[in-house]
Amino acid sequence: MDPNARLVAAFDELDRRIGALEAAVRGDGAPDLADLLGEAGGIMKGLLTAYAEHAGKAIPDTDDLLEVFKAFVKGDPSLNAVRDNVRELVYYGNCLAMDRADALPQNPQRMAVHTLRHVYLYLHSRCEQEHRL
């Protein structure tokens, strides 16, 4: 499979996964936040990795989203546009780890999924503008 086809396949799969989370947060009863954040972290890493690897950047094999983001943005400061979105997911996870659910926004599950969709749309649009898709 050529690099562009791999990028298209990766974005299609990530879009499907985000869509499944969107359906879950719209349904009755919000999914468990810790479970949702685990899935959201994997999707965010997938988005950053798909975009960066297509551009020839090496991404570390880690679950630390901030480390992935550092490699993702290296050499292209315009990619800092998604920094706050990555930090938002990390913040939610830190709130849970420190037993500080009171510091979370209302409906953090929905906010996390909106954050993923935002980053997906941003990176997908960039890929289209750069004639990668």
Question: Structure tokens of 24?
Answer: 């879950």
Res 94: pLDDT: 97
Neighbours of 88 (CB within 10 A): 20
Question: Structure tokens of 67?
Answer: 């480390």
Q: What is the CATH number of the domain that holds 43?
A: 1.20.120
Residues whose CB is less than 8 angstroms from the CB of residue 28 and which lie 6 or more positions away in sequence, other chains included: none
> How does pLDDT run across 28-63, given as a tens digit for each residue?
777 999 999 999 999 999 999 999 999 999 999 999
Residues whose CB is less than 8 angstroms from the CB of residue 6 and which lie 6 or more positions away in sequence, other chains included: 50, 54
Into how many domains does the chain fold? 1
The position carrying tokens 């800092």 is 80
Q: What is the pTM of this model?
A: 0.94
In which domain, by residue range, is 66 found? 3-129
Helices H / strands E in the chain, number of each: 5, 0
